[in-house]
A and B are shown apart, each in its own frame.
Chain A
Amino acid sequence: MITLTIDGKEITIEDGKTLLDAARENGIDVPTICFHEATTANAICRICVVEVEGQRVLQPACIVKAGAGMKVQTRSEKVIRARRTILEMLASTMDLSEADDIQAMMYDYGASSSRFPDAERRESEVKDDNPMYVRDYSKCLLCWRCVQVCADDAQYTYAINFEGRGYETQIGTFFDKPIPETTCVLCGQCVGVCPTGALKPKREFLLEQGMSPQEISVLNTGRKNRSKVKSQRS
C-alpha cells in the first residue's frame, strides 16, 4: 500500500495502481477518451492529464502509476486549460454528434464548439463496403482502439492501420481496399470499442437511414451472407 495526495485528499491504495484508479476509486472524477479496459493504454488523448508536483509537464493519469508521497492536482488551471483546449480542438476537427460522453465533457469544462473559426475539419465519405459495419471517419477521433483490437489486443487480424500522419491521419486498409478484400474476418470487435459511432453495425446504420427492420432482414446480413463474402476472398 502507498499513500499520496490527490486534490489535497490523502489517499492510500495498493501498489501498482494508476493515478486514474487512485482518483476514481476515491470518487474523484478524471475524464478519459482513449482509455479502455480491453485495449493497451497508449495515453494519446491526454484528456486525463493531471498536475504532479515536481514534474515539468502534465501527466496522463491513465498510465502513470501512483507513487508514494505524490502530490497530484486534477483540476489545476493548467489541467483545465489543456482539457478544455483539447475538447475545443476536437469539436473543430470532427463530427461529435454521436459522441455523447465528449459532449458532456465539453459542457463540464465550458468548452466552446466554435472556438476555432475557419478550422479545417477532418472529413471523409461514408464507407459502406461490407455486410457487417459501416465506417464514417468524419466521426473518428483516432482513439486507436479499432486498430488495437484488430491486431495484438484481440483478433490478430491486422486488417486496418493508419494512413497519413499528423492532422491528416485516418484509419485505413491496405491501399484503401474495401473491407471484404482485406484480412478482416468481420468479427465486429472494432465496432464494439468505437466510442463515437464512426464504426457502426450495418443494421443500425440502415435503421437510421429510415429502412424498416423487414427491409433490412431481406438484405440478410446474417452469417450465411458473411461466409459467402469470406469464400469470395481467395
Chain B
Amino acid sequence: MSEIDLAPLKPAIEKFIPLGRSGLLPALHEAQEIYGWLPEQVADEVAKSLRVPLADVHGVIEFYALFYNEPIGRKVIRVCTDPACALKDADGLLNRLCKKHDLEPHPAEGHGQTTGDLSLTIEPSPCLGMCELAPAVWTMDDGRWTVGDGEARPRSVVYGSIRELTKNCGDGTTSLKQYGEYKGLQKALTMQPKAVVEEIKSAGLVGRGGAAFPTGIKWEGAANAPGDQKFVICNADESEPGTFKDRVLLLDDPHRTIEGMCIAAYAIGARKGYIYVRGEYPYIVPVLENALNEAREAGYLNGFDIEIRVGAGAYICGEETALFESIEGKRGFPRIKPPFPTTHGLFGKPTVINNVETLCNVPLILERGAAEYRKIGTEKSPGPKLFCVSGDVTQPGLYEVPFGVTLRELLDMAGGVAAGRELQSVLFGGAAGAFATSEHLDVKMTFDDLRAAGLPLGSGVVMVFDETRDMRDVLKRLGHFFAHESCGKCYPCQMGTQRQMEILNRIAEGKVEEGDFIRLQDVGWTMTDASICGLGQTAASAVLSAMKLWPELFKDDGRRMRDEKPVLKGENRKEAAIEKKAAKKSGKPRSKAAKKKTVVKPMKKTTRRKK
C-alpha cells in the first residue's frame, strides 16, 4: 500500500479531539473530504487522535454506507432506485450512465462501480429525499455536491390548501430578516417553562416523525427528569422512502425549526441542542450554519446552543436511540427501551428528540396560543399536516393541508393520477407504511380515521401507483431497502429482511416457489412481533398489506400487471445534462493523496460476499 500524507489530516481533525469519541463521525467526514475515502493509515490516525480503539473505528466506517474504506471515484453519481424514482425510469438512467462509462450495467440491488482510473463511481442509492423531482440524482464532484442536472440544491415544490408551516417555503432560503422576530420564543420566555409544556399539551401536538407520540407529554417527561444536563435534538435524518418534507422545511425556512428547538430547550431546561441531518442532505448544512449564526447574533441562542451533526448513510439512524449512538460516535445500533430518551437519552441524559415538522409547529402554537392553533384540523387531530406526494400524479410535491382532508381531496389537489390513467394504489406512510387502494379514497386523513382504516400516517408519504404498474416490482424494491438498511443487531430483522428480499425478488421475477406465501408471512410476522426496533417491526408492514390486497401476486406467476412498462418520453434529458458535466470535469485531480495510485485490498463493504 502506498504511503499516505497525513500532514493535512492532523490540523483538520484537531478541533474534534476535545469531543473524544463523539467527534468520530465529524472527524471521519473531514478525513474523507481530504482523501476521498478512508485509507487504513487515515483511520488509524483518527482513532489515535480521538482515543478510540482501532477495531471500533473500523466498525463505524463499516456501518455507514457513505464512509468508504476503498478508493472511490473523484466524482460520484448516486441514482435513487427506490419506488418513486423507479417509476420515472431510475434503472434505465443508471444503466445508461454505466454503459456510457464502460461500467457494467447493474440492477437496482447492485453495489457501486468505479472506473479503473478512479475518475468516476456510479452507485444506486436508497431514497435521496427528492421523490417529487424523480428520478433523483445526487452528485459529488471534486468535493462539491450537486443534485439533478447540476443544481446546488433541490427545488422546492410546495402546494396545498393552507400555508402555515410552509408559509416561507418555495422561494429559496428565508433569512432571519424575512422570518422576523422569534415571536413564539418571545412569548414562551414570558411564561413559566411548565406553562409552555402545558400549552403544547393543550394544542394536542403529536410527533410527525412516524411514531405519533404526544409532544407535550414527551417534553414533560424530560422537564421532570432529574439532572441538570439535558438535550434537545432535532431529528432531520429523513430517510423514509418517499419523504422529503423536512428537506424543504430546513432549506427554505430554517429559523422555524431553530425557534422550535429554542422553545423546547426553554421548556425542559436544556443548554445544548443538536440537529442531526442525514448525510445525503449536505446542502442543508451551510443553510443551517448561516441561520444559526443569524440567530446567535440576534441573541436568540442565549444560554442554549445548537450543533449540527451529519449522518453518513444509514436509515436506522433516524430511530431516536440509534441517532444518539451515532452522535456518540458509534455504530447506529438502536438501544433497548426502556429506559426512554426522556430520562436516558443522548450521553445517558434526559433528552427531547423531535422531528423537524413537529418542531415547526411549536412557534405557531406559542405565538397564537393553543386554542387558536386547534382551529386548524380536527378535534382529535389538530393542526396542519404536510404530505409528500410522489409517483404517478400530475403534480408531485409537498402539500400542506389541515388534518381531516380526504385522500381523494389530496390527490385532486395534486391533479389526480397522471396521464389519465386509473389509480391502482397508494403507498401510505412510507416504506414502513401500507398500501391503500381506491376503496380508501374517502378516508379522512386524521390519526384515528387512518388507524381505523389500517393505514399508518408514518412520515406523511403518499406515493401513487397507476394501473399499469407492477406492484411486485415495488415490493421488491421495498424488500431491498430494508435488507440494505437493517442494522443487523437483532436476529428477526437481520435475517428476516434478507429472506424477505429473496422471496420478493423471485416473486417479482414470476418464479414463486411452493409455500412462499406462508414463508413470507412467517418472516413478516416474526419481524413485526419480535424485532428490537421500529425498523424490523415495520419492515414487513407494506408487504403484509399487499398480501391482503393482492394475494394472487404471491401465489402463482399470474400475468397480472406484467405488461410492458410504458416508455415515457423526455426522460433522457436529465442524464444528458449529467453526462455533459461528467465529460467536462473528469480527470481533474482532487487531492494529493488521490492523485497517487493506491492499490488496496477491497473490503467487504462494496463487494458482495457471495452469491
Contacts and interface: CB of A to CB of B under 8 A. Distances in A.
Given A63-B336, A85-B522, A120-B611, A44 B489 contact: yes
B58 A82 contact: no
A173 interface: yes
A81 B55 contact: no
Interface string B481-496: 0011111111110111
Given A82-B526, A118-B506, A164-B604, A173 B499 contact: no
A222 interface: no
Contacts of A33: 491
Contacts of B490: 43-46
Interface string B90-110: 000000000000000000000
Nearest to A48: B530
Nearest to B316: A165
B529 interface: yes
Nearest to A116: B499
**Size category of the binding interface on chain A:** 35 or more
Contacts of B44: 174
B507 to A, nearest CB: 12
Given A90-B491, A92-B499, A162-B63, A167 B486 contact: yes
Given A44-B489, A82-B530, A175-B43, A166 B609 contact: no
Contact of B532 (A44, A162, A163, A176): A44
A49 B529 contact: yes
A45 B608 CA distance: 24
Nearest to A121: B610
Interface in A103-127: 115-124
B562 interface: no
B603 interface: yes
Contacts of A163: 58-59, 62, 603-605
Contact of A90 (B59, B62, B495, B610): B495
Interface stretch (A153-161, A190-198, A206-214): A153-161
Contacts of B59: 161-163
A89 B513 CA distance: 17
Contacts of B62: 162-165, 172
Contacts of B457: none
Contact of A159 (B55, B484, B506): B55
A64 to B, nearest CB: 9
Contacts of B537: 57
B304 interface: no
A120 B498 contact: yes
Interface residues of B, number: 54
Contacts of A151: 53
A173 B529 contact: no
Nearest to B54: A174
B526 A161 contact: no
A170 interface: yes
Given A164-B604, A175-B40, A93 B495 contact: yes
A45 B531 CA distance: 9
B257 interface: no
A46 B63 contact: no
Given A115-B519, A122-B609, A166 B483 contact: yes
B53 A89 contact: no
Contact of B63 (A85, A90, A158, A165): A165
A39 interface: no
A162 B483 CA distance: 17
Contacts of B544: none
B491 A46 contact: yes
Nearest to A88: B522
Given A120-B610, A164-B62, A169 B529 contact: no
B584 to A, nearest CB: 36
B239 to A, nearest CB: 14
Most buried by B among A92, A142, A161: A161
A166 B502 contact: no
Contact of A175 (B486, B488, B489, B603): B603
A174 B610 contact: no
B495 A89 contact: yes
B69 interface: yes
Nearest to B58: A174
Contacts of B506: 118
B336 A82 contact: no
A169 B491 CA distance: 11
A117 B515 CA distance: 10
A122 B609 CA distance: 8
Interface in B270-295: none
Contacts of A162: 59, 62-63, 331, 488
Nearest to B503: A116
Most buried by B among A45, A122, A163, A173: A163
A175 B57 CA distance: 10
A173 B611 CA distance: 24
Contacts of B611: 120
Interface string B504-541: 00100000010000010011011011111000010000
A177 to B, nearest CB: 9
Contacts of B492: 46, 82, 85-86
Given A57-B529, A165-B486, A166-B497, A45 B40 contact: no
B336 A57 contact: no
Given A89-B496, A165-B486, A173 B58 contact: yes
Interface in A76-97: 78, 81-82, 84-86, 89-90, 92-93
B178 to A, nearest CB: 42
Nearest to B65: A165
Contacts of B495: 86, 89-90, 92-93, 167
B491 A45 contact: yes
B63 A173 contact: no
B53 A165 contact: no
A176 B58 CA distance: 9
Contact of A183 (B53, B487, B530): B53
Contacts of B56: 158, 161
Contacts of B608: 168
A150 B222 CA distance: 35
B465 to A, nearest CB: 27
A140 B446 CA distance: 46
Top 7 closest A-B pairs, CB basis? Answer: A158-B53, A161-B59, A167-B498, A169-B488, A174-B54, A166-B486, A161-B55
Interface of A: 33, 42-47, 49, 57-58, 63, 78, 81-82, 84-86, 89-90, 92-93, 115-124, 142, 151, 158-170, 172-176, 182-183
10 contacts: A43-B490, A49-B530, A57-B537, A85-B522, A85-B526, A162-B62, A163-B62, A166-B486, A168-B608, A175-B58
Given A82-B525, A158-B53, A174-B44, 14 more contacts: A46-B531, A47-B491, A124-B609, A158-B56, A161-B58, A162-B331, A164-B62, A164-B488, A164-B605, A165-B331, A166-B488, A167-B494, A182-B54, A182-B55
Interface of B: 40, 43-44, 53-59, 62-63, 69, 314, 331, 336, 483-492, 494-499, 502, 506, 513, 519, 522-523, 525-526, 528-532, 537, 601, 603-605, 608-611
